[in-house]
């Protein structure tokens, strides 16, 4: 790539609009204050995260923390309202 690029005013071809994939600025700030915990994990799980962390050049504890944060965020949202029919079916089963 040592050659110079020559720009022209000609047509540039078919364009495709790409959805904005960058995080919002508020998503870049640090999360809640961390809390130290002692947790016994299976050797298989720890080895999995260590291997993946090596592949992606990151820390395995950070990967586990982000996984738990994503899980907690997903499940802390208000549950979707169920239809009357679904609630009646659950009531009959219980």
* Per-residue model confidence as pLDDT tens digits over 33-90: 889 999 999 999 999 999 999 999 889 998 998 898 888 888 887 665 556 666 666 6
Q: Centre a 10 Å sphere on the Cβ of residue 24 and count the other Cβ atoms it contains.
A: 7
Q: What does the pLDDT look like over 12-25, one tens digit per residue?
A: 889 888 888 777 77
- Tell me the pTM: 0.51
Q: What angle, rounded to 10 degrees, do the helices at 60-76 and 43-56 form? A: 110
């Amino acid at each position: 790539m040592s050659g110079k690029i020559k720009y022209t005013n000609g047509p540039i071809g078919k364009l495709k609009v790409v959805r904005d994939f960058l995080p919002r600025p508020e998503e870049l700030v640090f999360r809640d204050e961390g809390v130290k915990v002692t947790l016994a994990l299976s050797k298989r799980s720890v080895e999995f995260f260590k291997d993946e962390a090596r592949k992606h050049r990151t820390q395995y504890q950070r990967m586990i923390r982000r996984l738990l944060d994503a899980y907690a965020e997903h499940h802390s949202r208000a549950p979707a309202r169920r239809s009357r029919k679904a609630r009646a079916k659950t009531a009959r089963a219980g």
